[in-house]
Structure 1
Amino acid sequence: MNYPEMTAEEAARLIKNDYVVGIGGFSSVGVPKAVPAAIAKYAIEEHEAGRPFQIGLITGGATGPAVDTELPLAHAVKFRTPFQSNANMRKAINSGEVQYFDCHLSMIGQDVYYGFLGKMDVAIVEASEILPDGNFIATTSVGIVPDLVAHADKIIIELNAAHGDRLKGMHDIYLPEMPPYRKPFMITHPGDRIGTIDVKVDPKKVIAVVHTNLRDNQAGFKPLDDDTRAIGAHVSNFLVSELKRGGIPKEFLPLQSGVGNVANAVIGALGDNPDVPAFSMFTEVIQNSVIDLILKGRCNYVTGSSLSLTDDALDVMYSHMDVFGQRLLLRSQEITNHPECIRRLGIIALNTALEADIFGNVNSTHVMGTKMMNGIGGSADFARNAFLSIFTTPSLAKGGAISSIVPMVTHTDSSEHSVRILVTEQGVADLRGKSPSQRARLIIENCAHPDYKQLLWDYLKLSEGKGLHTPHSLKNAFKMHIAYEETGDMRNAKFEL
């Protein structure tokens, strides 16, 4: 297929002020890199000439620096959805410059289809190969790329030579029908294929192909500290105990893991535990630890929406394609995060929290209830529908000045009805079948840091025994947060009788 070719700078000038632009990629990989960076430079030129230039951004999730660093620094973004994880975009969101819609990742494709986010003018996506019929092979992620190219008026493709043809056959691209015509997803095992290896494209929409040769350059993980190791060990030991008592089938169940250092450590700890059988994964993000576990025979199969790997780990995968070609599959997030698949497969979901309250509600997104951190991502997609939903968090933040276990979360992303297990480096609270008072006692005793246990016991005693199903004290519920804002330390909280 002979699509028009041009430079990134030429392609950037096809983007106009007020356009809604879809950007491919997921968890900062498989993201177009050259054209977004060129759009940022073009925006600066337009602003210097006294002309307005801002666009709306719809992505699959977190992108790379070309999108979420360069564009906000150029003041070129007016709207952004969904998940992001970049300090510059976060600053623009919290200042009010960028209007941010935090959406469940499983829903964003459907929202695009129905136009809830506005008409999409242009989709910019990354491909590793353009096929003779005009369709293309995606790179290290799928995200919502099939949705973007299906519903955008125009398409710009970055053809990235960095991956060669090594990713061909690693994708399962399936675009669901919309209600009421949607059919069941015929997935009963993480490796079941229901789609095609390529992304379908209407050739008439493609207005530019830009050649690149750029790796994703994912940052490495921080060295594990004692708290992270302890959280991983607690999760691993808990799942082994559930396995032994029959609470998990002897075959084990597929795992989902969130992003970041703690999630990577938890998966590594599970793989290293000889009492945990070799397992499969049905997840969003495939991180470094999974590559190692597959080579060790500890992970049988993994399906996800992105290969969020450092360059070294990606090279390891590429050097063992005889193994990974049979044990790894990339899908769109509309499938990996879909409630139907999560519930049918019986996923054990492992996600992280910013804070949790003593009754089991989780805040994943808002610092002190007001400042956006990253977004809800897919954690609630999995938490609400999983066989077993586990949330992890270190019990302390800011050197001990903040307790991650609080009387009441300042923002609720996953409620007590979705949070089954809570884990900190202090221990595990199994909240299943427990009343609010019972949950509070378990969480304080097993998960709170010793520096805050007495403070939390004091809070609970304020309202217990007063005929309340959930013993909250409304005038004291946020005293710990207020103490931090006023004094810099939650330990200075004073409750009113």
Structure 2
Amino acid sequence: MNERIKNAALRAKLMSADDAARFVNHGDKVGMSGFTGSAYPKALPTAIAERARAEHEAGRDYTIDLFTGASTAPDCDGVLAEADALRFRAPYQSDPTMRAAINAGRMGYADMHLSHSAQQVEEGFFGALDVAIVEASQIDADGNLVPSSGVGNNVEYLNAASRIIVEVNSWQSIELDGMADIWQMPALPNRVAIPINKPGDRIGTTYIPIDASKVVAVVETDAPDRNAPFKPIDDISRQIAGNFLDFLEGEVRAGRLTYDGYIMQSGVGNVPNAVMARLLDSKFENIQAYTEVIQDGMVDLIDAGKMSVASATSFSLSPEYANKMNAEAKRYREHIITRPLQISNHPEVIRRVGLIATNGMIEADLYGHVNSTRVAGSRIMNGIGGSGDFTRNGYISSFISPSVAQDGAISAIVPFASHIDHTEHDVMVVITEHGFADLRGLTPRERARRMVQVAHPDYRPLLEDYLERAEAASVKAMHEPHHLATALAFHQNLNETGSMRG
């Protein structure tokens, strides 16, 4: 570890994860690194979970409030949820055990825009932050932290916390040094413009400076990120990707996009990777990304010379591509920049670079409102993540989804969204395997007809019937007509019969 921990004073604070967990007390507010399964602490979560179990068995209370960048992994969120070690969680999660605890009411959860999360924690909206637990790939001689496979909210948590625990993970490539670009947002009211004009602009340092006097423990680890494999690209994903490329080609024909001017943001998942696979064989060149995560498809685009630069806050790679990144980090850092989440998702920069945002959804209604977080209005899935940051501020905002789920029992296009994360004012394009609905410049009733066209054929008659009833019942309210008595009938059918068709 001498090559990883180059500062002697911090090397002297090496200890086991169990010993370090003694610095995390009942009631503490804890900020952890981690974003989409990358760069989260690997040892402390289990040690904290074991301490929670021991305290509970002794009849004593032990829970903490946990803040991260986004989702982590089963050996972080999962073990803490299983041990009932969390009272509260923010700003995003995706662990099934944690999701069950939240939906059962055993754990508090605040879903929020990721670009808001660091500032709210740093400003004390949730109370003072007690501990920051952050993974690093190394500590340099001056005591600065070199980020591992993501940055997330680390900068703000390290600044705000009273105590710091650093995990130095030797699994992470030491050649990640130089990939990060750390620029700290000045405190209010002294904000200045973020000096990023293009996705590839570097404006800060390659390390995170910290107050070494706050470091109470350093822990050695050698463990991989949660690098879940992506599902093989299926026919539905290929069709959606083809429709997305058709939309981009239409923008080129309209003079709003050039083949060497595509700046992308993409949510995580199989369909976005299918889109990037289609881009490999497209006419688009010099593609740039200003986004949240680096995915397999972006690595392929870089390798093919189709993508010149990708700016994000973290990786979200399959095991094969994570190993490739570790082996070739020195090469990839010429094309990849990792930034603090507050910078990667900042509305100012998103608006300035003019990117096309593409995110997933649970459902969209006929007028273009999108639900990306809750099933049947109440049951949380993951959270809004950064989709709102990019949807509201992107040059063009699009949502992609298969038209049905659960073998056709659930329609992604519904009469009235059971929960709304993205309003009709922000949603411009909705894409399924049946085409794309370009909603720009349309009235609500015109949008509704376009949305019916991208719904699954089995649901189109039901949606058309709803529109007819809504218009008949809304003679004095024809701007955006609804039949309130049956607006949520799709969801009621699902609850009662297991299918939205009833």
Per the alignment, do residues 111 and 387 of structure 1 end up closer, same or farther by CA in structure 2, a change over 3 Å counting?
Answer: same
Q: Distance in 2 between matches of 1:150 and 1:397?
A: 43
Tell me which of 150, 162, 167 is aligned to 1:141: 150
| 1:2-41 map, 5 Å | 2-3=9-10, 4-41=13-50
1:482 and 2:489 correspond: no
Look up the match of 2:70.
61
Per the alignment, do residues 271 and 278 of structure 1 end up closer, same or farther by CA in structure 2, a change over 3 Å counting?
Answer: farther
Look up the match of 2:235.
226
Contact 2:259 2:284 in 1 (8 A): no
Stretches of structure 1 that go unaligned for 5 or more consecutive residues are 493-497
Look up the match of 2:250.
241
Task: Describe the superposition over 1:306-355 as per-residue Cα deviations: whole angstroms up to 9, x where unpaired.
Answer: 01112321232344445312111100110110000000000100000100
Look up the match of 2:340.
332
Q: Distance in 2 between matches of 1:78 and 1:321?
A: 38
Q: Secondary structure of 2:351's match?
A: helix
The code of the aligned residue for 1:402 comes to I
Look up the match of 2:393.
385
**Aligned-pair CA distance for 1:200:** 1.0
Look up the match of 2:3.
none
Q: Distance in 2 between matches of 1:270 and 1:455?
A: 35
Contact 2:227 2:322 in 1 (8 A): no
Q: Distance in 2 between matches of 1:201 and 1:173?
A: 12
The code of the aligned residue for 1:451 comes to D
Look up the match of 1:311.
319
Look up the match of 1:452.
459
Q: Secondary structure of 2:436's match?
A: strand
Tell me which of 263, 271, 274 is aligned to 1:265: 274
The code of the aligned residue for 2:317 comes to L
Tell me which of 100, 117, 120 is aligned to 2:109: 100
**Aligned-pair CA distance for 1:98:** 0.9
Per the alignment, do residues 319 and 159 of structure 1 end up closer, same or farther by CA in structure 2, a change over 3 Å counting?
Answer: closer
The code of the aligned residue for 2:55 comes to E
Contact 2:175 2:330 in 1 (8 A): no
**Aligned-pair CA distance for 1:253:** 2.8
RMSD over aligned Cα atoms: 1.2
Q: Distance in 2 between matches of 1:217 and 1:19?
A: 26
**Aligned-pair CA distance for 1:368:** 0.5
Look up the match of 2:440.
432
| 1:178-193 map, 5 Å | 178-193=187-202
Number of residue pairs aligned between Structure 1 and Structure 2: 490
Task: Describe the superposition over 1:196-224 as per-residue Cα deviations: whole angstroms up to 9, x where unpaired.
Answer: 10111001100000001111141100111
1:352 and 2:353 correspond: no
TM-score (norm 2): 0.96
Q: Secondary structure of 2:174's match?
A: coil
Q: Distance in 2 between matches of 1:426 and 1:193?
A: 40
Q: Secondary structure of 2:260's match?
A: coil
**Aligned-pair CA distance for 1:490:** 1.1
Q: Distance in 1 between matches of 2:363 and 2:470?
A: 22
Runs of 4+ in structure 1 deviating by more than 3 angstroms, as ranges, are 318-323
Task: Describe the superposition over 1:117-150 as per-residue Cα deviations: whole angstroms up to 9, x where unpaired.
Answer: 2111101000111111111101000000001100
**Aligned-pair CA distance for 1:250:** 4.8
Contact 1:253 1:346 in 2 (8 A): no
1:441 and 2:455 correspond: no
Q: Distance in 1 between matches of 2:281 and 2:373?
A: 30
Contact 1:173 1:196 in 2 (8 A): yes
Q: Secondary structure of 2:138's match?
A: strand
Q: Distance in 1 between matches of 2:266 and 2:355?
A: 10
**Aligned-pair CA distance for 1:267:** 2.1
Contact 1:58 1:82 in 2 (8 A): yes
Q: Distance in 2 between matches of 1:486 and 1:322?
A: 55
The code of the aligned residue for 1:154 comes to R
Q: Distance in 1 between matches of 2:430 and 2:284?
A: 20
Task: Describe the superposition over 1:379-423 as per-residue Cα deviations: whole angstroms up to 9, x where unpaired.
Answer: 000000000000011110111111110000000000001100000
TM-score (norm 1): 0.97
Look up the match of 1:407.
415
The code of the aligned residue for 1:482 comes to Q
The code of the aligned residue for 2:242 comes to A
Look up the match of 1:495.
none
Q: Distance in 2 between matches of 1:163 and 1:66?
A: 17
1:342 and 2:350 correspond: yes
Contact 1:339 1:385 in 2 (8 A): yes
Tell me which of 122, 128, 136 is aligned to 1:127: 136
The code of the aligned residue for 2:138 comes to E
**Aligned-pair CA distance for 1:357:** 0.3
Contact 1:243 1:252 in 2 (8 A): no
